[in-house]
Amino acid sequence: MLRTFGGWAALAAVLMVALAGPASTDEAPKRGGTLTYMIPADGPPSFDAQREETYATIHSAAPYYSTLIRANPMEPGSPDLVCDLCTEMPKPTDDGKTWAFKLRQNVKFADGQPLTSADVLASWKKIIWPPEGTVSPRASNFVMVDSVDAPDAYTVVFHLKFATDAFLPALADPYAWIYSKAKLDQDIHWYEKNIDGTGPFKFVKYETGQSIEGVRNPDYFRTGLPYLDGIKGIFADKQVTRVEAIKSDQAAIEFRGFPPTVRDELKAALGDKIDVQTSDWNCGGLITPNHKRKPFDDPRVRRALTLAIDRWGSAADLSKIAIVHTVGGLTYPGSPLAPTKDELQQIAGFWPDIEKSRAEAKRLLKEAGQENLSFTLLNRSTDQPYKYYGIWVVDQWSKIGVKVTQRVLPTGPWFAAMRAEDFDMTVEGNCQNVVNPLADVGKYLPHAISEGNYGNFDDQHEIDLYNAMLRELDKTKQKQKLLEFNKYVLDDQAHGIFLLWWQRIVPYRAYVKGWKIGPSHYVNQDLATVWLDK
């Protein structure tokens, strides 16, 4: 049964209901206590989320900041976006091209200064149009933004070049912390080493590479929140340390997620003292062929290689040992815009009959004169899930007679090899935060548009499909165009070979309440609603 998309969806639903229970009960929150949690890193590169890409920054300092809008903390996996610093979600004007946000008037920074639209404006300008000497890795998500202004002290207006449904989810970026204009004016790099936000907690101290601590912000703009008196994040890069810390109750939770084996280990050791929440993760694995290298310039070869992979048959077994789980296309499986099972099974590599699929793969290789194909697969030296992906696909390809050798490199050299076009095929990931079905597939566009695509190909038709999809406001047509895009990228051209979506598993001490898992470890980390049932 689990070899079907429906089966997986049903299992996921059961797991969500069974395991996500603690966060959805109606227990009255208790006040007080300090939450100690593990951060799976040696420390953040900096505290400036606007310039960083790592969860180490989010998990360290998100509780000290607010954003303009955000994913609904009660349902972080839903497309529902809610206000954080704004008073209500605006209705766009000017045919969807103007968005005016009214701001709360009772918000103060930790240093006591009131927040105004000047702060929000300065923060967003830094994100969208980073000043010289600063970095903003997500600036390209805001190609639709023409200008931002602040007509009064509590209003911020975004003017778009074109209306698109990709705008609001991009605006809910959990890295888009709102900073003080005064601090930015004083030193544009001030926030890299200092913390001063409007979040539910106030920063107390950071022991380099050891821990970070905060206390309840008495001036927090949401009355009654947070419930906790304090928070303490402990950095530990080694998984065994984090697991032991939870086991010995030195820490209550780690928010990024553990492999299934750790969940089982903690449950076996601590029984009902451990609760588990599980979710699909807005991260997917893919193999990118280098189109500049023969024979990967031939769509028949690329198509054969995706056809050889038995996603439906492997997902169940892989999900027992790795953080991969769900069969899906380029669109996050939980999104209403994701292909249905029937639609997905029309795409090469997702056919229900693997024997038929592999027979077609062999035929294509023969037709392309590549019956004895052998190549090197570049991979990243990261255990979960890259190494599992690598071993899996090498085995899958062997079933159609393709011989593959892996070349596993640390993150820096792996990136360098991809940028230098020094690979045949490479294992990659596409990890996004708030689910934004239209923008999240931007990764698969040719390098001229998406600099994070290492396939080395040009394809105007694909760009046209994407642009049409990005500007489409009718949901039914949007879904149709997205399906067309999936079919074109994964099947017709096989520009990328999509593997499996990740699964996020968070086992934690059962006394932690009020936190709800979402499809991204970047989202829902301000901890305002977390409380301890002790």
Could you list the residues that contact other proteins (CB under 8 A)? 42-43, 45-46, 52-55, 130, 132-140, 189, 192-193, 207-211, 234-238, 240-241, 244-245, 247-251, 269, 283, 409-417, 419-420, 428-432, 442-443, 450-453, 522
Q: At closest approach, how far in Å is the CB of 302 from other proteins?
A: 21
In the complex with other proteins, which residue's Cβ is closer, 72 or 450? Answer: 450
Q: At closest approach, how far in Å is the CB of 149 from other proteins?
A: 24
Q: Which H or E run contains 5?
A: helix 5-19
Q: Which H or E run contains 286?
A: strand 274-289
Residues 60/527, Cβ–Cβ less than 8 Å: no
Short-list 316, 342, 314, 339, CA closest to 328 = 339
In the complex with other proteins, which residue's Cβ is closer, 441 or 483? Answer: 441
Q: What DSSP string runs through 203-215? A: EEEEETTTEEEEE
Cα torsion 35, 251, 281, 387 to 10°: value is: 160
Q: At closest approach, how far in Å is the CB of 129 from other proteins?
A: 11
In the complex with other proteins, which residue's Cβ is closer, 28 or 240? Answer: 240
Q: At closest approach, how far in Å is the CB of 18 from other proteins?
A: 26
Enter the tokens of residue 65. Answer: 């900041």
In the complex with other proteins, which residue's Cβ is closer, 106 or 411? Answer: 411
Q: At closest approach, how far in Å is the CB of 133 from other proteins?
A: 6
In the complex with other proteins, which residue's Cβ is closer, 218 or 412? Answer: 412
The end-to-end CA distance of the chain, in Å, is: 41
Q: What are phi and psi of 389, to 5 degrees?
A: -55, -45
Q: At closest approach, how far in Å is the CB of 238 from other proteins?
A: 5
Q: At closest approach, how far in Å is the CB of 123 from other proteins?
A: 18
Q: At closest approach, how far in Å is the CB of 420 from other proteins?
A: 8
Q: At closest approach, how far in Å is the CB of 65 from other proteins?
A: 18
Q: What are phi and psi of 409, to 5 degrees?
A: -125, 150
Short-list 178, 149, 444, CA closest to 287 = 444
In the complex with other proteins, which residue's Cβ is closer, 352 or 413? Answer: 413
In the complex with other proteins, which residue's Cβ is closer, 160 or 441? Answer: 441
Residues 44/57, Cβ–Cβ less than 8 Å: yes
Number of Cβ within a 10 Å radius of residue 89: 13
In the complex with other proteins, which residue's Cβ is closer, 253 or 354? Answer: 253
Q: At closest approach, how far in Å is the CB of 411 from other proteins?
A: 5
Short-list 445, 488, 431, CA closest to 284 = 431
In the complex with other proteins, which residue's Cβ is closer, 138 or 302? Answer: 138
Q: Which long-range contacts (CB under 8 A, 24 or more apart) does 349-356 make?
A: 349/306, 349/307, 349/309, 349/311, 349/490, 349/491, 349/494, 349/497, 349/498, 350/311, 350/312, 350/490, 351/307, 352/4, 352/312, 354/310, 354/312, 354/313
Q: What are phi and psi of 427, to 5 degrees?
A: -85, 135
In the complex with other proteins, which residue's Cβ is closer, 312 or 388? Answer: 388
CB under 8 Å to 341, separation ≥6 — which residues?
4, 5, 6, 9
CA angle 396/397/399 to nearest 5° reads 75
